[in-house]
Amino acid sequence: MCGICGSVAIGSLAVEPDLVQRMTSALRHRGPDECGIYTDTGVGLGHARLSIIDLTGGGQPMFTEDRSVGITFNGEIFNYLELREELIRKGHKFRNRSDTEVILHLYQEEGERCVERFNGQWAFAIWDVTRKRLFLSRDRFGIRPLFYTQTANSFLFASEIKALQACPEVECALDLHALDQIFTFWVTLPPRTAFRNIWQLPPGHCLLLEGGKVRVWEYWRLEYAPVTEETEGGQECLREELLALLLDATRIRLRADVPVGAYLSGGIDSTVTTALAKQMVGERLRTFSVSFDDPEFDESAYQQEASDFLATQHSDVHCSYDDIARVFPEVVWHAEQPIIRTAPAPLYLLSELVRKSGFKVVLTGEGADETLGGYDIYKEAKIRRFWGRNPASAWRPLLLKRLYPYMKAIQRQSPSYLKSFFCVTTKDLVNPFFSHLTRWELTARLKVFFSEDVHAEMRKSPLIEELERTLPRGFLSWAPFNQAEYLEAMYLLPGYILSSQGDRMAMAHAVEGRYPFLDVRVVEFAAKLPPRLKMKVLDQKYLLKEAARGLIPESIRKRHKQPYRAPDGKCFFGRPGSYADELLSLETIKRDGIFDPQTVAALVAKFRSGRPTSVKDDMALVGVLSTQILLERFMNRPEARGISRSCPERGSSVCLQ
């Protein structure tokens, strides 16, 4: 796992090595083990390496033996050994044992279509010296980030936006349309980012820069069978196939020349992943987790039970309100976008623990909820549809009490409030976004905190129509359950779960996350399953639970879904004179102009008074504060980005052609 960057000059201009050095330096937290720079006429490639496979021979940028093709690569190709053997049989000769060299040779063999053969998580840039063209690719789910921009003189790409902003010609300004998206969907819609004129390569896409022209195309998309089609095979066969696929997905994700640990949250997903890894790891497996002072969020009892059952060596980082407040500015700096939850902060602390424990790689359980029917939003949609088909029923809306049992604020509400909040209209039932309307409407209420100038700008953007244009052609023919899964898997998963909570928090401390549930074979198998095997009545992840019988503790296999959460707004008002006081002050809010000073002041006063706060209040406070931190770290004080002018001397190499 690494940080990559580069620049291609427009026209006959040269690329300054100093620019590539500054860009690479901005990524050193992602790859502290080695720094590599390559420059030639019109092109520069940079690489900050986290060495995991072929520790001595996998340095980058890497070139083929004839130096006709070079690469800077972030990620892992888990099926690289099988691809390597295939390429050797075709006459290819390898100089090292890295998966990076496999990419180069497969590109020589199959061109841009090589990405269709990869099972892994990647973002890479290939410079084709002979053809003078740049080829970028990002993995199917966007596990690894890749951003790009253009100036008058160059095309720039990097693993993180701050590396692009090491170039003085790159604008550093907040994109208000992106802010509108975040305060509706929690994420930006690719290719947009939180920064104006800086773009992300969407998951499952490639980009080709040739002759000064850019072409972007999709090479993979998640597809579900039409609602009329049934999956072949009985439940028992499907259970066995799922378990076999997960076992092999875990096996190949243990490929590393360094120790591999695992996150253990206390839920079924991470416990299954850990149990499968334990079967293949001879020594005592190390597991890591987060615990909380606040019992509403703490799952340490389940974590310890899973560790005892699986006989792992377990460590946890205990997270208080003050801990979250302390690291939150760094969390936003690494996330590079506003966030409306503090949940990434404990994961930032967790990756710090992992790194201090001597580990660079961890297995995690992300992806199971999105693809195997785990989220409560699926259950919510099912209950609301059931109620909506008979709105006059007196007992159907009582099922709303079955939703979100772990959220005290929801459980305290009266039946009449729940009926009003989760209301279903005839128009809603035929809306392709039915499953997510309640979430989006709640989040969009946060826009009341924006200033009038920002409101005026946002009125120009029809967000739902914009999202609708990105949907695949077959979306309307899928079962409603699959439609909901798609929206989670292709938007929230890459844009928030794998980014703000995933790659960015882990790589802040140079830790690589690996996700067996996001193996392409597992995902495509799950997409063919009928919804009834993902949620049986209201029993979530039904087939996965069946596959896990005897593999994990019964109490964890049967426990109700409790998604990972962390304390929010109350974290920031424990001590006077904090950065939150300054950034949320009337003067600062008015100066920056994004939010309405009086409305924000009323929200802050509510938290300071200790009065009861709602989910909306928490999201608003965190959203406003994270936006203010982003402005402060990137726009108001660019020196706070921490970009130095050169790479550290240790482990660095510079190749000037």
DSSP 383-401: HHHHHHTSTT-SSGGGGGG
Residue of 214, 249, 227, 184 lying closest to 491 (CA atoms)? 184
Average per-residue pLDDT for the chain: 92
For 38, phi then psi, to 5°, come to -130, 130
Instruction: Output the six-digit token pair for 308.
Output: 């005892």
pLDDT tens for 540-590 read: 999 999 999 999 999 999 998 888 999 999 999 977 778 999 999 999 999
Position 402 scores a pLDDT of 73
Position 209 scores a pLDDT of 97
Position 27 scores a pLDDT of 98
Query: Helices 176-185 and 615-630 sit at what angle, rounded to 10 degrees?
Result: 150
Task: Among 38-42, 80-84, 628-632, name the one with the lowest average pLDDT.
Answer: 38-42
Residue 246 has pLDDT above 90, yes or no: yes
Residue 656 has pLDDT above 50, yes or no: no
Strands 286-292 and 62-63: unpaired
Q: Which of 412-416, 466-470, 489-493 has the highest mean pLDDT?
A: 489-493
- Higher pLDDT among residues 561 and 76, named by residue: 76
- Higher pLDDT among residues 146 and 398, named by residue: 146
Q: Which residue has the tokens 């929690």?
A: 186
- Higher pLDDT among residues 331 and 420, named by residue: 331
How much is the average pLDDT of 351-359? 98
Convert 45-60 to b/e letters by CB count within 10 Å (16 or more is b).
Answer: bbbbbbbbbebeebbb
Contact by Cβ (8 Å): 123, 146:
yes
Residue ranges and CATH numbers for the domains of the chain are 2-220 (3.60.20.10), 222-567 (3.40.50.620), 569-640 (no CATH)
Q: How far apart are CA 209 and CA 220, in angstroms?
A: 20
Residue 518 has pLDDT above 80, yes or no: yes
* Alpha helix ranges (H) inside 389-503: 408-411, 415-421, 426-429, 434-444, 452-458, 463-468, 480-487
Position 644 scores a pLDDT of 44
Spatial strand order in the sheet of 313-319: 313-319, 286-292, 260-263, 361-363, 512-514
Convert 114-146 to b/e letters by CB count within 10 Å (16 or more is b).
Answer: bbebbbbbbbbbbbbbeeeebbbbbbbbbbbbb
DSSP annotation of 202? P
* Alpha helix ranges (H) inside 317-407: 321-335, 344-356, 368-372, 376-388
Task: Work out the pLDDT band at 229, boundaries 50, 70, 90.
Answer: low
Instruction: Output the six-digit token pair for 549.
Output: 């019988």
Secondary structure (3-state) at 351: helix
The rounded percent of the chain whose pLDDT value lies above 90 is 82
Task: Work out the pLDDT band at 651, boundaries 50, 70, 90.
Answer: very low
Q: How far apart are CA 374 and CA 369, in angstroms?
A: 4
Q: How far is CA 338 from the centre of its chain?
A: 14
- Is the previous residue joined to 338 through a cis bond, with omega within 30 degrees of 0? no
Position 657 scores a pLDDT of 38
Position 265 scores a pLDDT of 95
* Alpha helix ranges (H) inside 584-614: 586-592, 597-609
How much is the average pLDDT of 384-407? 79
How much is the average pLDDT of 9-37? 93
Position 78 scores a pLDDT of 98
Contact by Cβ (8 Å): 309, 272:
no
Residue of 195, 189, 74, 192 lying closest to 139 (CA atoms)? 74
How much is the average pLDDT of 437-452? 96
Position 574 scores a pLDDT of 78
Q: How far apart are CA 379 and CA 647, in angstroms?
A: 50
Contact by Cβ (8 Å): 375, 381:
no
- Higher pLDDT among residues 394 and 146, named by residue: 146
- Higher pLDDT among residues 640 and 621, named by residue: 621
Position 314 scores a pLDDT of 97
Q: How far apart are CA 463 and CA 189, in angstroms?
A: 9
Residue 468 has pLDDT above 80, yes or no: yes
Instruction: Output the six-digit token pair for 78.
Output: 């888990």
Task: Work out the pLDDT band at 399, boundaries 50, 70, 90.
Answer: confident
Contact by Cβ (8 Å): 29, 641:
no
Position 341 scores a pLDDT of 97
Position 645 scores a pLDDT of 36
Task: Work out the pLDDT band at 148, boundaries 50, 70, 90.
Answer: very high
Position 639 scores a pLDDT of 58
How much is the average pLDDT of 92-106? 96
Task: Among 114-128, 170-184, 220-234, 331-345, name the one with the lowest average pLDDT.
Answer: 220-234
pLDDT tens for 178-221 read: 999 999 999 999 999 999 999 999 999 999 999 999 999 999 99
Instruction: Output the six-digit token pair for 440.
Output: 């989006």
Contact by Cβ (8 Å): 256, 53:
yes
- 571 a catalytic residue: no
Instruction: Output the six-digit token pair for 183.
Output: 């305060």
- Higher pLDDT among residues 640 and 20, named by residue: 20
Position 131 scores a pLDDT of 94
Instruction: Output the six-digit token pair for 454.
Output: 């920002």
Secondary structure (3-state) at 8: strand
Instruction: Output the six-digit token pair for 384.
Output: 């609301």
How much is the average pLDDT of 521-534? 97
From 2, 5, 167, 319, active-site residue: 2
How much is the average pLDDT of 443-468? 92
Task: Work out the pLDDT band at 230, boundaries 50, 70, 90.
Answer: low
Task: Work out the pLDDT band at 69, boundaries 50, 70, 90.
Answer: very high
